[in-house]
A and B are shown apart, each in its own frame.
Chain A
């Protein structure tokens, strides 16, 4: 009998049901048993995994993981960016009661994005959300800035307090590649599933009574602007 797929083997380790023939094969097959032993072996819990359960310390512990993904989208992830969130003129709101604002840090100055000004390579962006009752926030960007229909790349997803305002714990650095920066911010009552494109995002949001907005940040390389 051909080996079962790794998917079947992994499901077995999580208690999933399997057919009799597969179960018999696994019991007799050294290769399959070796895989099961490998994935069920006790391992020390890494520090980043422990931090997941501690909201105070929850952060993207491995910057390179997201740096890899977000670099593909043209934004560099910046960890631990301390922004002095002085009171600004107010949030840049989109439709509906929830709201999203973007803090832009350039050199050492922080300002609330006015919805029009261009950002520059090197600027750091940090989002503030007013969930107005929603309990999850997800941030996407386009996976390929050259093609608008090329899918979404998830940058951040996490539970969020439904009340008040929350500044997200991650920031992104604007790179110098051509093309505006586009962020999609989704507020929902359930975690957002894998979504292929904005059409799916819109359909899902409508079906789940979620809320989302698209933020287009024009990019300028003119240092005088």
Chain B
């Protein structure tokens, strides 16, 4: 289950395995506090998503910025497009936006479910999703900034 979740977020299978292992290892450390299926899955989704975001940001830091950006608004209904947008926009998109987008577009969570997993209000979840969809590179004098 953890590996399937991580594979949806990260297209690199090695990175997906790494994040899955880290997530499971942390779950093991907390095994005495594990309660029910709802709490466990919420914790797993939240933790694995945040670890994946760390990995995406690290990758972005190590790879040159080739300037490729989504041409228009991000279609969060398209899982592949959303994942690509996250990978190209992770340099400037806040982690909290990336978190709700991954949970929404990649995992198909409803706003209510995202709210329960992240601890943010539904209103905040909607705002973050809308903000990410509008995210575009800024351009001044024809040069990307």
- Identify which of residues 58-94 in chain A touch chain B, using a CB-to-CB cut-off of 8 Å: 60-62, 64-66, 68-69, 71-72
| SS of B interface (majority) | helix
Tell yes or no: B122 within 8 A of A by CB: no
Q: Name the contact of B41 in the complex, choosing from A7, A38, A159 (C-beta under 8 A).
A: A7
Tell yes or no: B65 within 8 A of A by CB: no
Tell yes or no: B107 within 8 A of A by CB: yes
Number of interface residues of B (CB under 8 A): 44
A6 to B61, CA, bound (A): 30
Q: Name the contact of A72 in the complex, choosing from B28, B36, B47, B54 (C-beta under 8 A).
A: B54
B6-46: contact bitstring with A at CB < 8 Å (1 yes, 0 no)? Answer: 00100000110111011011101110110011101110111
Q: Which of A10-18, A95-103, A115-123, A209-217 contacts B (4 or more CB under 8 A)?
A: A10-18
How many whole Å from A76's CB to the nearest CB in chain B?
Answer: 12
A52 to B31, CA, bound (A): 11
Number of interface residues of A (CB under 8 A): 40
Tell yes or no: B80 within 8 A of A by CB: no
**Of residues A3, A15, A39, A61, which shows the largest number of chain B Cβ atoms within 10 Å of its Cβ?**
A39
Tell yes or no: A220 within 8 A of B by CB: no
Asked if residues A65 and B22 are in contact (CB atoms below 8 Å), the reply is yes
A62 to B47, CA, bound (A): 18
A105 to B50, CA, bound (A): 31
Asked if residues B109 and A62 are in contact (CB atoms below 8 Å), the reply is no
Asked if residues A65 and B19 are in contact (CB atoms below 8 Å), the reply is yes
Asked if residues B107 and A6 are in contact (CB atoms below 8 Å), the reply is yes
Asked if residues B37 and A11 are in contact (CB atoms below 8 Å), the reply is yes
Chain B residue with Cβ nearest A53: B28
A190 touching B41 in the complex, CB below 8 Å, given contacts A6-B5, A38-B4: no
Give 4 nearest A-B pairs by CB, closest first: A16-B37, A14-B37, A65-B18, A5-B108
Interface residues, chain B, CB within 8 Å of chain A? 1, 4-5, 8, 14-15, 17-19, 21-22, 24-26, 28-30, 32-33, 36-38, 40-42, 44-47, 50-51, 54-55, 57-58, 61, 95, 103, 107-110, 113, 117
Interface residues, chain A, CB within 8 Å of chain B? 3-8, 10-11, 13-16, 35, 38-39, 46, 48-49, 52, 60-62, 64-66, 68-69, 71-72, 136, 143, 151, 153-154, 157-159, 190-191, 194
